[in-house]
Structure 1
Amino acid sequence: MRMDPFNVAGALARVSEAAQFYDLRGREGRKLSARQLRQLFYGLQRALQPAHFVEAGAHNAATSLKIREVSPQTSVTAFEANPYNFKKFASQTNFAAAGVDYRLNALTDHEGPVTFNVLIEEGGVARQPASGRSSLLTRTDATARHEEVTVTGTTLDACFSDQTGTLALWVDVEGAAGKLLAGAARTLPRIQSLMIEVETRAFWSGQWLHTDICAHLMGAGLIPVARDFEFRHQFNILFLHPDALAHAHALLALEQFYSARARP
């Protein structure tokens, strides 16, 4: 379904009203907004108890490990596309023992080998290959240099469309959210809650910006209900399915999120 750009703009304006509760002139206010949005997401999972949780761009899979605590019956899968990250964190944590399926895969728009761009230099500064700044896309910064590595790509539909039950999703894929969503057409209707990192300007070549992502998700029936203000041009938006908002405890978690910010 094509989404009216005025509806998208209106939705973004409504969730951005929460900026009044933070001092965004300093880093602390922005960090607080991100921390509180994460807590809302965890509270929603505690209320909704989804059948499946998927973390895309998992890095050290900290979010997946947290979901195991708040929703013990949920099956948890964490996808990490950077092989340097995967090797580092798989050696540090026994994910299988923790109940997390930690996979070396890129969630994208097709199955098969894909090129992943490991950022190794930017602005004349060397970058560690094990970091959270690499992507399926290349940086728009002309000073950026990448190491191209081949990883196995897959899609949300290939992994989850034949399974039953509700799904929660956390997406932090450094500009490549459009590719992930393009491979999720059959999975999106089952998503109860989705946290996704978006950008208001292009840091990566060919990326979807915040309005593109909102239009796509709202067209699929998901509702943006909250956002943070983590960085000036990059932030997270939380979407819920209408069925989630019909859940009394989930609605209460959202009410408490906003009422806490109204206190002096």
Structure 2
Amino acid sequence: MKINDHAETFYQDGRVEQSRPDTKPVVCLVANRAVGTGKSTIASCLLALPLNATIYALDSVMRLAPALNGVAVKKHSPDTMVEMRNEIAKAQRNTVVDVGASYFSAFLENPFTIDFIKIVDICVIVTDTTHRGQEESIATYTTLKDLGMEDRQFRLVLNRARSFPAREQYEILFDYAEKNPSFVMNDKCLIPETDLFCGIDKNGQGFLEALEDHEDYKPLIKRAKDDREKDAVDDLISRQINHRMAMGILCHFEECFKSLNIPSHLRVSVAQLA
């Protein structure tokens, strides 16, 4: 995994291995065979924003959106992977490829996938606390390993945690890691459950928009109440709450991203973007 322009290879457990220099931008693959683990949110908010990356969506939930959470999205399918690979090579910038669960089988069956995987530096597997999410995370890991990806390329994001610590919620994965030492887990790479993304979707906002929304809503809400504009009151209160939740989740995104151990020169602070 050569993802920086220094002579180093980075691992999720914090190890740094000397290697030959490589100046190409980082290419991250986000995957899980299970539906609904939060892959697209992780692709946009956790990875693309701090990496200042473009997202390529392979029939993910972002397939109908020109942008998600302030990040440009380019839509592709497994049938256009050659075109996508050429675009990534020409762009020469950090890239996040989000593979939708509904297209994961087609992605694997595509004869070009093995060649495409060769340009991937990091594979981020996103799990939630469900048994299916964890089991499919393991299946995704073993399947991509069979296609030639190495253990040092994998990162695991423990998404939608309901509380701390993580062990009790992701028991299937921790048990698997104990039996398979090459499967590296980092319990700091964890994102708690939040209602933020339901809220911003309802209001037609993105994560970055909610984060940088510094409007003083108190007088606006009072005025709307005085005018008996119930819909406006609900909208303003929701936007106020969305901003507070975005500020609250930001520290978890930053801690989780740090735990992915991606070279610091490739990152920008999400707080600086807001």
Normalized per residue, the structure richer in helix is: 2
Q: Does the alignment reach a TM-score above 0.5?
A: no
The structure with the largest alpha-carbon Rg is 2
TM-score, normalisation: structure 1: 0.35
TM-score, normalisation: structure 2: 0.34
Normalized per residue, the structure richer in strand is: 1
